[in-house]
Amino acid sequence: MKLFYRFNYKDFRLRSMVVGFAMLGVSFVAGVAGYMLIEGYDFNEAIFMTVITMSTVGFKEVQPLSDAGMLFTSILIVFSFGIFAYVVTTFTRYVVDGVFRNYYRDNKVKNRIEKLENHVIVCGYGRNGKQAAFELSDHNVPVVIIEEREHTINILREETDFLYIHGDATQDEILQFARVDSAKSLITTLPIDADNLFVVLSAKELNPKLKVISRASDDHSDNKLKRAGATNVIMPDKVGGQHMAKLVAQSDVVEFLDYLMLQSTNDAILKEISCKSIANHFDNCAINELDIRNTSGANVIGLRRADGSYIVNPTPDVTLSRSDQLFALGTDRQINHLIRTLTSD
């Protein structure tokens, strides 16, 4: 299991480096043992002689060498010099290839993820996942991307500022590392519906209150994903076809809604406001009694009841309750003013 780039013993370059250091250690032990056996040096003398021989610093021998000792020293110098060159070359390749830089960067990402709360987890950085991540980022929503493909992780590392985890999103350990327990939402855009189903099941088990949006390719997967706990199921091909048809039938309306929903604009935003925290004197109060337009400048254009039903363009006599969701249109300042008004005692 990979969370980030880790030193993996299956990696050829790392294995070469480990082999080099192992050979260096074996040569050192052989040198110490050889000087003790051939020349009769004590342990400290053998260590000193081995170090100056392998490092080729040129200090004088501890004691004059015998013919066998000189032959052993010559062999030790040749082998240790070759091993040193091999280790230095391998280490340099690691530095040049950016392995240490990536390791440092991944640790910074790991530390940032450990502090996250109320964030969104995006599983899969394909076409849908990438678009979702950028849209969330445009709205200043913290995002953690879980991706299994190595080359995609390299793109996330080098070309974006997204937080990322290298791993399989269907595994509980990966979701826990992404802090699914403190996330507010999860979007799974994996290409295989069965994998999305596993992600939904695991995520809802780890965080029953989590809002889960899942991608689906097969029409028959819709109900299964919802039964597994998905809040919404999106079928990109179907949505794309509907969107194109609506652009033909009501192009100006669709473009206007896209402008409100997807673009970062200071002119106006469409915001969903929960009524759970409204002040006591506003509970069961009619909309006209709130005087929202005059006090905040925002407009209430819709309402969702606890049973999931919607009221579009509610009349002034419609009453609010703490189980409702308001849909308000206005600038960011107006929306914030409205929220403060509704929650102030």
Topology of 115-235 in CATH? Rossmann fold (3.40.50)
Residue 7: per-residue pLDDT: 40
pLDDT higher than threshold 50 for residue 318 = yes
Residues 129 and 123 sit within 8 Å (Cβ to Cβ) = yes
Residue 5: per-residue pLDDT: 44
Would the pTM of this model clear 0.75, i.e. be above it? Answer: no
pLDDT higher than threshold 50 for residue 1 = no
Cα gap 35→48, rounded to integer Å:
10
List the one residue out of 206, 197, 203 whose CA is nearest residue 225.
Answer: 197
Topology of 12-96 in CATH? Helix Hairpins (1.10.287)
pLDDT higher than threshold 70 for residue 345 = no
Cα gap 320→271, rounded to integer Å:
17
Cα dihedral 193→156→179→270 (10° resolution)? -80
pLDDT higher than threshold 50 for residue 9 = no
Residue 334: per-residue pLDDT: 86
> Distance of CA 96 to CAs 19, 90, 118, 277, 283, Å?
19, 10, 38, 55, 64
Average pLDDT in the 136-148 region? 91
Task: Tell me what percent of the residues of the chain surpass a pLDDT of 70.
Answer: 91
CATH class of 265-343: alpha beta
pLDDT higher than threshold 80 for residue 302 = yes
Residue 124: per-residue pLDDT: 94
pLDDT band (50, 70, 90) for residue 21: confident
Q: What are the structural domain ranges in the chain?
A: 12-96, 115-235, 265-343
Residue 96: per-residue pLDDT: 60
Q: Which residue has the higher pLDDT, 103 or 324?
A: 324
Task: Tell me what percent of the residues of the chain surpass a pLDDT of 90.
Answer: 30
